[in-house]
Chains A and B, each alone.
Chain A
């Protein structure tokens, strides 16, 4: 049973209608996720966040989400309405975004926000919720949880804010965490602390993690597996550690364009886009191995 995937996505499509016709932001994306760390990379606008949002039920109107399969454990996400998703969010899937300042309520202390989340999902007493929140702050390596509990979001640094977000996202014990550029706004040393904390929790709790990032080095060193997106499609997937041997010319082009310490080139090779990369890849069928 533990081998059953946490998340199954088959031929996920997201379309934004507009006056100029439908814009296909995500095109037949298919993957499964176990208790592992999956990275999604790709250039800006390739559909990474939209994929994450579709799984969370957060694609805004008038966007349309379709899929042949979209299952979280035994729940068919395609049949859920907003109310159904609201029950699921936090409790079974959670999302951490780039800037914690936008996701936290500016006029409520961070401790209270975490405690409220606990109460909401478990109908716990105020005392239980507070204890759980403090425990969670400690779990994300905040040294003085009692003090941080009483602080407001604007009083904490970016790195601390991201720890608090992780605490809030994990308090209801979700199976799946989607982190969308969770550390891009932080400096490298803090970035790695936040990732290490996320990693520790994901392992301890046996969760699945989707890390969305445009930082190729980070994803290849942090994740188990990587999906590479271009123009709404997955053009390649590989073991994260083998990203440097990726085959698709798009992925190869991205890797080549990265400046490298100790290997200085006068001119960096710029990505030469091939119109063929835009062609629809075949959707998965039952016959697809």
Chain B
């Protein structure tokens, strides 16, 4: 469903050039949930944005649902691939009601029947009619993230890209959203590519997981391998240790933080 071959993205030029993604190749089968983990700045969001078609100058091959992606995406392709961002506060327009937020993509893609589609999308993510005419600030963090997911779903995409969809949420809301994603994947056969720094969250939803560092895909591993600790790359091992809680003996206090 998603094939990346040697995808590279550089930002800036000359001395300020940063290779944010470097020869990333991966393959996600239809209906699969694939996870990306890695330290801050390792290029996870960059890969997602390249798949979403938000980076025009991405190099390499991107094939989605058997179609080769060119420089410009057709309306149909844009409809097929939807993205949910981390911050449920920043990603919704503060002066639009939930109804307006959800109607917008329907209008842009000229799907018609906005009223019914909005109602269905809201029901799908477990929001009631009483939420439909509220503004984002009148919703809780979890409800806002549901709206963001509803906005992605309303176009009936086949691929859902999720960038840290639960890291701004607390534990109980995170469980709601993870259950919602599990159900959507089961009911609609959605293919998902998800980024998180929480290995337990990633392993909950995804079978296969890619570990990124400095723009490169270092290791392909599985939720089972993470659970049993049978990962091979030193960076993945370190990531695994730090996900198991604070242990002063495994912290290198003097390691230089990335600039």
Binding site for B on A (CB under 8 A): 43-44, 141, 143, 157-160, 163, 186-193, 195-197, 199-200, 214, 216-218, 220-222, 253-254, 257-264, 266-271
Nearest CB of chain A from residue B216's CB, rounded to whole Å: 17
Are A214 and B175 interface neighbours, CB within 8 A? Answer: no
Given contacts A187-B39, A187-B197, A258-B175, 5 further A-B contacts (CB under 8 A): A44-B140, A189-B242, A190-B40, A190-B257, A197-B253
Are B182 and A267 interface neighbours, CB within 8 A? Answer: yes
B259 contacts A by Cβ under 8 Å = yes
> Which residues of chain A are near B18, meaning CB under 8 Å?
none
- The 8 Å CB contact of A270, one of B169, B179, B248, is B179
> Which residues of chain B are near A158, meaning CB under 8 Å?
40, 257
> Which residues of chain B are near A216, meaning CB under 8 Å?
171
A sample of 28 inter-chain contacts (CB < 8 A) reads A43-B172, A44-B141, A44-B173, A157-B257, A157-B258, A159-B258, A186-B40, A188-B239, A189-B239, A190-B40, A192-B242, A193-B257, A195-B251, A196-B246, A196-B253, A218-B245, A218-B246, A220-B245, A221-B245, A222-B245, A222-B246, A253-B172, A259-B178, A259-B203, A261-B200, A264-B203, A267-B179, A268-B178
The CB with the most chain B CB atoms within 10 A, among A159, A222, A259, A267, is that of A259
Are A254 and B247 interface neighbours, CB within 8 A? Answer: no
B7 contacts A by Cβ under 8 Å = no
Nearest CB of chain A from residue B249's CB, rounded to whole Å: 10
Nearest CB of chain A from residue B134's CB, rounded to whole Å: 17
Interface residues on B, range: 35 or more
Nearest CB of chain A from residue B61's CB, rounded to whole Å: 29
> Which residues of chain B are near A260, meaning CB under 8 Å?
200
Among the stretches B21-29, B75-83, B98-106, B222-230, the one at the interface with A is: B222-230
Are A143 and B223 interface neighbours, CB within 8 A? Answer: no
B187 contacts A by Cβ under 8 Å = no
- Rounded to whole angstroms, the CA-CA distance of A270 and B182 in the bound complex is 14
Nearest CB of chain B from residue A174's CB, rounded to whole Å: 21
B68 contacts A by Cβ under 8 Å = no
Are A141 and B40 interface neighbours, CB within 8 A? Answer: no
B91 contacts A by Cβ under 8 Å = no
B130 contacts A by Cβ under 8 Å = no
Residue of A nearest to B227 (CB): A262
- Rounded to whole angstroms, the CA-CA distance of A203 and B256 in the bound complex is 23
> Which residues of chain A are near B172, meaning CB under 8 Å?
43, 253-254, 257, 270-271
Also in contact, A254 and B171, with CB within 8 A (given A199-B248, A261-B199): yes
> Which residues of chain B are near A141, meaning CB under 8 Å?
253-254
Q: Which residues of B141-192 are within 8 A (CB) of A?
A: 141, 169-176, 178-179, 182
> Which residues of chain B are near A191, meaning CB under 8 Å?
242
> Which residues of chain B are near A163, meaning CB under 8 Å?
257
> Which residues of chain A are near B227, meaning CB under 8 Å?
261-264
Are A262 and B228 interface neighbours, CB within 8 A? Answer: yes
Are B170 and A43 interface neighbours, CB within 8 A? Answer: yes
> Which residues of chain A are near B256, meaning CB under 8 Å?
143
Q: Which residues of B11-63 are within 8 A (CB) of A?
A: 39-40
Are B201 and A259 interface neighbours, CB within 8 A? Answer: yes
B238 contacts A by Cβ under 8 Å = yes
- Rounded to whole angstroms, the CA-CA distance of A223 and B49 in the bound complex is 38
Are A270 and B257 interface neighbours, CB within 8 A? Answer: no
- Rounded to whole angstroms, the CA-CA distance of A143 and B257 in the bound complex is 10
> Which residues of chain A are near B176, meaning CB under 8 Å?
270
> Which residues of chain B are near A196, meaning CB under 8 Å?
246, 248, 251, 253
Are A188 and B204 interface neighbours, CB within 8 A? Answer: no
Residue of A nearest to B39 (CB): A187
> Which residues of chain A are near B199, meaning CB under 8 Å?
261
Nearest CB of chain A from residue B133's CB, rounded to whole Å: 20
Chain B 182-220 per-residue mask, 1 if CB under 8 angstroms from chain A, else 0: 100000000000000101110110000000000000000
Are B251 and A258 interface neighbours, CB within 8 A? Answer: no
Residue of A nearest to B248 (CB): A196
The CB with the most chain A CB atoms within 10 A, among B40, B169, B170, B204, is that of B170
- The 8 Å CB contact of A258, one of B182, B200, B223, B239, is B200
> Which residues of chain A are near B248, meaning CB under 8 Å?
196, 199
- Rounded to whole angstroms, the CA-CA distance of A221 and B247 in the bound complex is 7
Nearest CB of chain A from residue B139's CB, rounded to whole Å: 13
Chain B 65-108 per-residue mask, 1 if CB under 8 angstroms from chain A, else 0: 00000000000000000000000000000000000000000000
Also in contact, A258 and B253, with CB within 8 A (given A187-B40, A188-B197, A191-B242): no
